[in-house]
């Protein structure tokens, strides 16, 4: 049985909003009316990944679970708290180990929209920690961090709480137009550029001597220019399936957006296919491409397969699309009458072309799904799916600083396309951030880490928020805010997927070091390293080539083959790979160096001597088979030059091209 603690007393002050329907303001002394009654379910001593006390619980009447992990040794009076909208209450071994290594305990709360549950546990954790460490008057510093959807939660927290957390590290910047706009833009590129995907991948790889625009037809070139100007980094198309197709769940994110849009803006898809100004009606090659991609047909259910709860999980139809080059989702509208459900109930799923099998998404309305049985008539279409590919054209933000979207405006500043009356993207962002609107009014120190290979929330968006913060803070800006860009890193936190390990780094160590820099800034007044220098050009963030000019905390690695980024050699001829590696001033030393001579993520460590701020090394290799190879060197720096450390490692890559004939 759990034990009820901390229930609100009659004279406790409840947390409130500043304006009607605004975000709830959380302070150390107020009590959140939703998260006011924590129930402890477990206190246990754990040994993995290190000895610590684990305290588990949930909030009464909410089901929101949490865990607090307090190491027995090395605590220095702080805690770290990662947030994400859909995370469980269980922290990973890496989070717990990092927290302890950085002198803190770890707080982890099951994901919610917004920051209120996270704030309630953050406050509760201080009481628990003071008792556990037997330091009843100890000031405890708190740091919140999170990426993607966790960025929205982190920013919402720092703009709408006071002294709950002392600082934050938001990762992978999202702003009020990121969702679903980012996926809309990338999907448009994926659909239109798809038949040139192989050529495009090669054109953006290191050592290419081809301009990507030169291999595209006029329609494709116009779309390339559009998605690039709106922020898609050209280099991300090397992973075409991850950027414009579904390897990184782009289609699934569009489907999630459609679920909400059908309530917020229900006529969007119909307008796309019937009103002027939308591609569904536009008399152009691009409009024709969309209309020729439209799938609409009637079918009859032949078979229904159900799970243990008797809910349909897949069905077999008597018809299917003749061709489906991309694994997109479809809407299925029930045409038959069903008890308890009006004719016209819809659900979504994806189809196996040619077989008629439909895999049903698990989050569909179970009442509608229970109408499915043999003989039921359904209408199948991909109208919403296609319409969302240009959603970004019809919800151009009107606020200050969205300069990338000027590409979609005429010279007079007016949009080239009809605009929706409902701003769905802003609604999505407010939901994730707990009602926050990205005002820039941060209440603690903030270090933002954004990634230059992000194919969902584009790098310029971090600059947009930086401008908001600077406008609000004025003269205090440099005392509270820093922005760092990381190279060769994308949108996904955690270990890099095997499919892209040859071209991307695990950036966990980078944000771990940012968190350690943040705690030193807050607690000791030690200024963090120089922020990354950059400029914005045509919607793209550009950083200097050298580490000394670029700044930040990430090493810079350049790889040359026979003094260039490209070499053409004969089979059996030795090739010299030259690595030039530099760490920005006062941020550490190189502690690891690995070679991947074939460009297939088969990294082999190399002994390069003692840790140093500058490392120049060569390796000679003989390729025995003709082909195009993209060799790389992967390096890591550590602030204190500690070789063998598992934490705080700042990775980067250098890559080049070898053509073997």
For residue range 154-177, list pLDDT tens digits in order: 999 999 999 999 999 999 999 999
CATH code for residues 295-380: 2.40.30
Mean pLDDT of 556-576: 95
The pLDDT, as a whole number, for residue 432 is 87
Token pair 């209408």: residue: 379
- Beta strands 296-306 and 312-317: pairing type? antiparallel
pLDDT over 70 (residue 282): yes
Take residue 322 and report the two structure tokens written for it: 């003749």
- On whether the CB atoms of residues 497 and 465 are closer than 8 A, the answer is no
What is the Cα–Cα distance from 102 to 109, expressed in whole angstroms? Answer: 20
Distance CA 57, CA 35 (A): 12
Is the predicted pLDDT of residue 8 greater than 50, yes or no? no
What per-residue confidence (pLDDT) applies to 326?
54
Per-residue pLDDT tens for 460-511? 999 999 999 999 999 999 999 999 999 999 999 999 999 999 999 999 999 9
End-to-end Cα distance, the chain:
72
- Report yes or no: 371 and 310 within 8 Å, Cβ to Cβ: no
Residues 412-421 pLDDT 10s: 999 999 999 9
CB 585: neighbour CB atoms within 10 A? 11
Residue 97: pLDDT above 90? yes
Is the pLDDT at 650 greater than 90, yes or no? yes
Longest dimension (CA), the chain: 83
Strands 657-660 and 329-334: unpaired
CB neighbours of residue 568 within 10 Å: 13
Give pLDDT tens digits for 63-86.
Answer: 899 999 999 999 999 999 999 999
Residue 425 parent element (H or E): helix 424-433
User: CA 522, 526, 527: angle at the middle one, nearest 5?
Assistant: 100
CATH class of 144-174+438-532: alpha beta
Could you please state the CATH topology (level 3) that the domain comprising 548-661 is classified under. Answer: Immunoglobulin-like (2.60.40)
The pLDDT value recorded for residue 11 is 53
Residue ranges of the chain that CATH labels 2.40.30: 295-380
The DSSP letter of residue 23 is: P
3-class secondary structure, 142: strand
Q: Indicate whether 6 pLDDT > 70.
A: no
- Which string of DSSP letters, residue by residue, matches 147-191? ETHHHHHHHHHHHHBSSS-SEEEEES---TTHHHHHHHHHHHHHH
Q: What is the pLDDT of residues 604-642, one digit of tens each?
A: 999 999 999 999 999 999 999 999 999 999 999 999 999
| Total count of residues recorded for the chain | 661
Quick one: CA dihedral 234, 236, 241, 242, positive or negative? Answer: negative
Would the pLDDT of 7 be above 50? no
How many other CB atoms sit within 10 Å of the CB of residue 261? 24
Mean pLDDT of the region 294-301: 93
Task: Map 193-247 to HEC letters.
Answer: HHHHHHHHHHHHCCCCCCCHHHHCCHHHHHHHHHHHHCCCCHHHHHHHHHHHCCC
pLDDT of residue 327 exceeding 80: no
What average pLDDT score do residues 550-577 get?
A: 95
> What is the phi-psi region of residue 277: left when phi exceeds 0, alpha when psi lies from -120 to 50, beta otherwise?
left
Distance CA 176, CA 183 (A): 14
CA distance 248 to 454: 11
Res. 356 pLDDT band, cuts 50 70 90 = confident
Sign, Cα dihedral of 174, 403, 551, 524? negative
Would you list the DSSP string of 230-291?
Answer: TT--GGGGGGHHHHHSTTTTHHHHHHHHHHHHHHHSTTHHHHHHHSTTSTTT--SHHHHHHH
Average pLDDT, the chain: 93
SS3 554: coil
How many Cβ atoms from other residues are within 10 Å of residue 21's Cβ? 6
Beta carbons within 8 Å of 301's beta carbon, 6+ residues apart: 315, 316, 317, 372, 373, 374, 375, 376, 377, 378
Dihedral sign for Cα 554, 555, 559, 564, please.
positive
> Three-state secondary structure along 466-522?
HHHHHHHHHHHHHHHEEEEEECCCCCCCCCCCHHHCCCCCCCHHHHHHHHHHHHHHH
H or E stretch at 95: helix 93-101
Per-residue pLDDT at 340:
66
Domain with CATH 3.40.50.1820 in the chain: 144-174+438-532
Per-residue confidence band for 4, with pLDDT thresholds at 50, 70 and 90: very low
Judged against a pLDDT cut of 50, whether residue 368 lies above it is answered with yes
Q: Tell me: the pLDDT tens digits for 175-203?
A: 999 889 999 999 999 999 999 999 999 99
Could you report the per-residue pLDDT of 407-465, keeping only the tens digit for each? 999 999 999 999 999 888 888 888 888 888 889 999 999 999 999 999 999 999 999 99
């Amino acid at each position: 049985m759990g034990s009820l603690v901390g229930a609100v007393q009659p004279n406790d002050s409840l947390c409130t909003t500043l304006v009607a329907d605004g975000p709830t303001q959380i302070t150390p002394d107020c009590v959140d009316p939703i998260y006011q009654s924590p129930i402890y379910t477990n206190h246990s001593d754990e040994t993995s990944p290190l000895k610590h006390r684990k305290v588990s619980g949930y909030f009464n009447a909410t089901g929101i679970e949490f865990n607090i992990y307090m190491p027995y040794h090395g605590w220095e009076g702080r805690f770290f708290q990662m947030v994400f909208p859909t995370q469980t209450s269980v922290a990973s071994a890496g989070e717990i180990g990092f927290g302890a290594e950085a002198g803190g305990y770890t707080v982890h709360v099951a994901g919610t929209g917004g920051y209120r549950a996270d704030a309630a546990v953050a406050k509760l954790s201080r009481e628990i920690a003071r008792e556990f460490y037997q330091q009843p008057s100890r000031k405890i510093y708190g740091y919140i961090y999170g990426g993607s959807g966790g960025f929205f939660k982190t920013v919402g927290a720092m703009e709408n709480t006071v002294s709950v957390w002392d600082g934050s590290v938001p990762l992978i910047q999202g702003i009020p137009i990121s969702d679903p706009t980012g996926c809309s833009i990338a999907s448009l590129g994926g659909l239109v550029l798809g038949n040139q995907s192989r050529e495009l991948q090669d054109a953006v790889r290191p050592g290419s001597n081809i301009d990507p625009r030169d291999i595209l037809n006029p329609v494709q070139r116009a779309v390339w220019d559009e998605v690039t100007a709106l922020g898609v980094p050209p280099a991300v198309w090397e992973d075409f399936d991850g950027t414009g197709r579904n390897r990184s769940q782009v289609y699934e994110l569009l489907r999630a957006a459609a679920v909400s849009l059908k309530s917020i803006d229900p006529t969007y898809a119909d307008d796309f296919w019937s009103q002027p100004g939308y591609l569904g009606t536009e008399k152009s090659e691009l409009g024709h491409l969309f209309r020729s991609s439209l799938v609409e047909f009637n079918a009859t259910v032949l078979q229904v397969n159900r799970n243990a709860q008797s809910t349909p999980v897949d069905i077999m139809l008597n018809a299917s699309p003749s061709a489906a080059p991309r694994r997109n989702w479809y809407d299925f509208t029930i045409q038959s009458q069903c008890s308890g459900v009006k004719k016209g109930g819809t659900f979504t799923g994806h189809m196996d072309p040619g077989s008629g099998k439909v895999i049903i998404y698990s989050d569909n309305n179970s009442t509608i799904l229970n109408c499915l049985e043999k003989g039921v008539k359904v209408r199948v279409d991909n109208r919403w799916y296609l319409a969302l590919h240009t959603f970004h054209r019809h919800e151009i933000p009107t606020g200050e600083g969205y300069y990338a979207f000027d590409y979609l405006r005429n010279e007079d500043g007016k949009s080239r396309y009809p605009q929706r009356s409902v701003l769905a993207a802003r609604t999505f962002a407010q939901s994730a951030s707990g009602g926050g609107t990205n005002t820039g009014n941060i209440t603690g120190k903030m270090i933002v880490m954004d990634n230059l290979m992000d194919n969902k929330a584009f790098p310029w968006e971090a600059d947009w928020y930086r401008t908001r913060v600077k406008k609000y803070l004025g003269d205090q800006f440099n005392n509270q805010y820093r922005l760092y860009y990381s190279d060769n890193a994308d949108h996904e936190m955690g270990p890099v997927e095997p499919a892209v390990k040859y071209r991307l780094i695990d950036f966990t160590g980078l944000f771990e070091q940012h968190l350690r820099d943040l705690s030193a800034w807050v607690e000791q007044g030690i200024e963090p390293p120089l922020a990354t220098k950059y400029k914005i050009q045509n919607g793209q963030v550009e950083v200097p080539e050298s580490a000394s000019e670029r700044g930040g905390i990430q090493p810079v690695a350049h790889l040359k083959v026979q003094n260039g980024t490209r070499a053409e050699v004969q089979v059996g001829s030795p090739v010299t790979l030259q690595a030039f590696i530099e760490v920005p001033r006062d941020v550490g030393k190189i502690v690891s160096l690995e070679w991947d001579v074939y460009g297939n993520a088969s990294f082999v460590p190399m002994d390069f001597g003692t840790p140093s701020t500058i490392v120049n090394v060569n390796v000679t290799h003989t390729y025995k088979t003709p082909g195009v190879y993209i060799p790389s060197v992967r390096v890591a720096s550590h602030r204190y030059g500690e070789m063998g450390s598992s934490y705080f490692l700042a990775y980067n890559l250098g890559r080049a091209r070898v053509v073997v004939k």
